[in-house]
């Protein structure tokens, strides 16, 4: 039995973690919830109790065994080391420590063994990278991925509640033909845009570089080449990715389907007769990553194309963090 804390408890990911801890009967004897000052005094229901939202203080972590951080990089950089110094183990869902070679970056179905090297801190990966890697891993294990070309179609939920609210309000205004001033420099409803994380000198945005770096780290293979184009689409929840993967070894589609059907956490979703494959609506609220449209690239050998969709707030964030906690 553990004393657990959630930092960022009122955010979308924090609320999902609370729900999952209850739903999955996570073994704990105490749960404490922390959020920004404006939420202090509010309560959240958990296992029939109303738990108060608290403000972070330096000394709180001395009575906490395990903390889920899901309040963004700024808060993680400010508080994670304080928690570790008090003997608290941290599972961090932000990007703050993912690239640190001393911090395990973990998807339990793929590299659970990395948990053995943790020094009080484990990072949970980028949501789009997770959705790509879940179906890719069983194929990589068998055929060895060499080069990946991927595009992402990322929902508003990936940028938090504010963008979800913005998409809804813009959509209503558009349909009702009412004037509306978006906070983005362009319309979002019935539109899409390349990911607006900071643009680097290479021409890639940071989100695209994260996809490459985190793929190599999680798969434990620095030779894998990955290029990504990340796009925000007008979808409320659940990300999609397309992937073109060149493997070192030859394979058949029969072998691909056999590997996918044996894999944990992924689900084949396709009806080829109806040209029906997974959509964000299908994946919303689902723990598994849905995948399909497996096909051979006709332009070069040993190359496969596929489509995958997953709930950004579940396996892309909260569920993965809770699964790490369960393994610990």
Task: Classify residue 322 by burial, with Cβ atoms within 10 Å: 0-12, 13-18, 19+.
Answer: buried
Pairwise CA distance, residues 171 & 152, whole Å: 22
Residues 1, 29 contacting (CB under 8 angstroms): yes
Q: What backbone torsions phi and psi does residue 57 show, to the nearest 5 degrees?
A: -135, 155
Six token digits for residue 276: 């029906």
Q: What is the DSSP letter of 120?
A: S
First to last CA, the chain: 12
Residue numbers annotated as active site: 127, 239
The percent helix, strand, coil of the chain (3-state, each to 5) is: 40, 25, 35
272 closest CA partner among 287, 257, 289: 257
Q: What is the DSSP string of 19-82?
A: HHHHHTT--EEEEEEE--GGGTT-EEEETTEEEEEE---TTGGGG-SEEEE-S-HHHHHHHHHH
Spatial contact of 89 and 328, defined as CB atoms under 8 Å apart: yes
Question: 213 with 196: CB under 8 angstroms?
Answer: no
**What are the φ/ψ torsions at residue 277 (nearest 5 degrees)?**
-130, 175
d(CA 280, CA 157): 12
Q: For residue 243, which of 110, 105, 128, 107 has the smallest C-alpha distance? A: 128
CA pair distance 109, 5, nearest whole angstrom: 24
């Amino acid at each position: 039995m553990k004393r657990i804390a959630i930092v960022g408890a009122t955010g979308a990911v924090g609320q999902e973690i609370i729900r999952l801890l209850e739903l999955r009967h996570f073994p704990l004897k105490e749960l404490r919830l922390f959020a920004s000052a404006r939420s202090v005094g509010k309560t959240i229901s958990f296992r029939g109790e109303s738990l108060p939202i608290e403000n972070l203080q330096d000394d709180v972590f001395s009575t906490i065994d395990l903390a889920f951080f899901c309040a963004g990089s700024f808060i993680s950089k400010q508080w994670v080391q304080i928690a570790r110094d008090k003997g608290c183990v941290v599972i961090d869902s932000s990007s703050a420590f993912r690239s640190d070679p001393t911090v395990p970056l973990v998807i339990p179905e793929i590299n659970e063994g990395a948990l053995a090297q943790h020094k009080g801190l484990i990072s949970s990966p980028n949501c789009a990278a997770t959705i790509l890697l879940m179906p890719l891993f069983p194929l990589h294990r068998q055929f060895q991925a060499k080069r990946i070309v991927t595009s992402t179609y990322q929902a508003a939920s990936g940028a938090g509640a504010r963008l979800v609210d913005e998409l809804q309000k813009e959509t209503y205004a558009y349909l009702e033909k009412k004037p509306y001033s978006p906070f983005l420099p362009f319309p979002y409803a019935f539109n899409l845009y390349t990911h607006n994380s900071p643009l680097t000198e290479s021409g890639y945005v940071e989100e695209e570089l994260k996809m490459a770096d985190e793929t190599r780290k999680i798969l434990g293979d620095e030779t894998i080449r990955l290029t990504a184009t990340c796009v925000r689409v007008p979808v409320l929840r659940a990300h999609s990715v397309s992937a073109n993967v060149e493997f070192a070894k030859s394979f058949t589609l029969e072998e691909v389907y056999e590997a996918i059907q044996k894999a944990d956490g992924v689900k084949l979703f396709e009806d080829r007769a109806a040209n029906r494959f997974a959509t964000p609506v299908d994946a919303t609220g689902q723990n598994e990553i849905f995948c399909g449209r497996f096909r051979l690239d006709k332009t070069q050998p040993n190359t496969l194309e596929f489509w995958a969709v997953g709930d950004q707030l579940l396996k892309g964030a909260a569920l993965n963090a809770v699964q790490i906690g369960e393994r610990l």
